[in-house]
Amino acid sequence: MTDQSAIPPLRVGLTAPRVPPPNILVIFGATGDLTRRKLVPALFDLFCENRLPAQFCVVGFARREQSDDAFRADLRASVQQFARAKPDSASDRWEKFAQMICYHQAEFDSADGYARLAQRLNELDAARGTQGNRLFYLATAPEYYALIAERLGAANLAELGGAWERLIVEKPFGSDLTSACELNRQLRAVFDEAQIYRIDHYLGKETVQNIFAFRFANTILEPLWNRNYVDHAQITAAETVGVENRGGYYDGAGALRDMVQSHLLQLVALTAMEAPVSFDATAVHDEKVKVLRAICPLCDHDVDDVVARGQYAAGQGMIAYRDEPRVAKDSNTETYVVLKLVIENWRWAGVPFYLRTGKRLPKRATQIRIQFKPVPHPLFSRDVVSGIEPNVIALRIQPDEGIYWEFAAKRPGQAIQLSNVRMDFGYATSFGAAPGEAYETLLLDAMRGDSTLFNRNDAVEVAWSLVTPILERWAQLPPPEFPNYAAGAWGPVAADRMIARDGRVWQAP
């Protein structure tokens, strides 16, 4: 029996999550990095926590020739390295999990390969009791998304019958507005919109989901969360790493496509959205799309006033971006971007949202920082309030997940002297553990048929409509003077100049 006194108080009484219905998960690109580092470790952690259905199976679909046993052995090594739970020899949980895994070899364009897949899935349904429910995960290069969907349709694997079929599509979802619209058209020629789950792993983070609870479960915030009290918002997604082994992909994408179009605009939408009429997928998606549609098009401004970009040089023992593997020596791909967004609606009119993201920055951190306006009439002398900053609420998405509030308080002593102080909530200290991996949440939600934390087609297209004009404008300009910030610095000076023009400064997360 569990000792209740040893459980952190905020974890007492937590209900067990609902287990999804029986199903088969087919992972296309099963020998790739995403499967190895994220998907299978997440599935193993879910298995160890008894959150997967007993009638469950994973089918890895890839082009490499190998046996089921060889595939399982490769995955065991990945789980050992990347999962929270470990396949230790003292327990047989890996052996039980491995029995749920099998491998299917075929080319992505092979009609025979999909016919054999259909037959194998039927056999697994009969043997494992998975009831005909199938979840297809596209963990491949983006150029295969439409092809795989078309082949699934041709093999009658996308049909809605008594069971369900769903398709998870990884980012990047297109490379501009035109390609995103075309990919939406191709997928929806085979699958209904309700069957398509466009994944953004940021939305699966516990701290991102907590934005809903923080905003809409606390009465004290609603009167303050608007243009009357908020001066501006800063959203930072900083990485200390470079492109690692993603040079081939990243050099054709850049920070604007890789981070802003998906992750950062999603954080803007969650921060600025109105309360949905209910917490279901349609209502939440509707409110998020309203925010994105209300963002003033960046092409309506002088680009230099609202967007700046950068690329890291060598520094602090780290090589320059142009010296990274699989990156062109004369590359003009941005590794840093900063934007100023204006949301033209009644709640946020006149409140700028500053977004920045980059690689090789001094600190790994993703944070939403809401800075409030200064007090309307200072009661204290200039000496008393020297160094006092306006109130701030900050949501730490990663790492050190939590929320803090900065406000002014009197220092101890006879004299009146104020200091900035902080009230801080941390997930790890309050709940006794850091939040789980985002992919665990998203995989379970897709199995349950809950698309709330996935992207709808119109949200993807509106996001691209904001970003594409900037990409087109950059293509018309002379090559930028790259590199323009040293590895380990907080980006190019143009980013500081942009926010300084508005009389504000960046705050380190």
Please state the domain extents for the chain: 22-170, 203-500
CATH architecture of 203-500: 2-Layer Sandwich (3.30)
Q: Which of 104, 201, 232, 263 is catalytic?
A: 263
Q: What is the pLDDT of residues 145-189, one digit of tens each?
A: 999 999 999 999 998 767 899 999 998 899 999 999 999 999 999
User: Does pLDDT of 383 surpass 70?
Assistant: no
Q: Which residues pair with 403 in a beta bridge?
A: 395, 425
Strands 336-342 and 196-198: unpaired
* 243/334 Cα distance (integer angstroms): 11
Q: How far apart are the first and last CA of the chain?
A: 42
If you classify domain 22-170 with CATH, what class do you get? Answer: alpha beta
301 part of the active site: no
- Cα separation, 373 vs 66, whole angstroms: 62
CB 166 within 8 A of CB 449: yes
- Sequence-distant (6+) residues with CB within 8 A of 372 are 224, 229, 230, 231, 390, 391, 392, 393
For residue 330, with 0-12 CB atoms within 10 Å meaning exposed, 13-18 middle and 19 or more buried, which class applies? exposed
Asked if 102 and 69 touch (Cβ cutoff 8 Å), the reply is: no
CA angle 413, 417, 423 (to 5 degrees): 95
pLDDT tens, position by position, 127-151: 999 999 999 999 999 999 999 999 9
CA 129 from centre of chain: 33
| Mean pLDDT rounded to a whole number for the chain | 90
pLDDT at 1 over 50: no
pLDDT digits (tens, 9 = 90+) for 274-316: 999 988 899 999 999 999 999 998 766 666 778 999 999 999 9
**What confidence tens digit (pLDDT) does each residue in 79-125 have?**
999 998 888 765 789 999 999 999 999 999 999 999 999 999 999 99
**Fold match between domain 22-170 and domain 203-500:** no
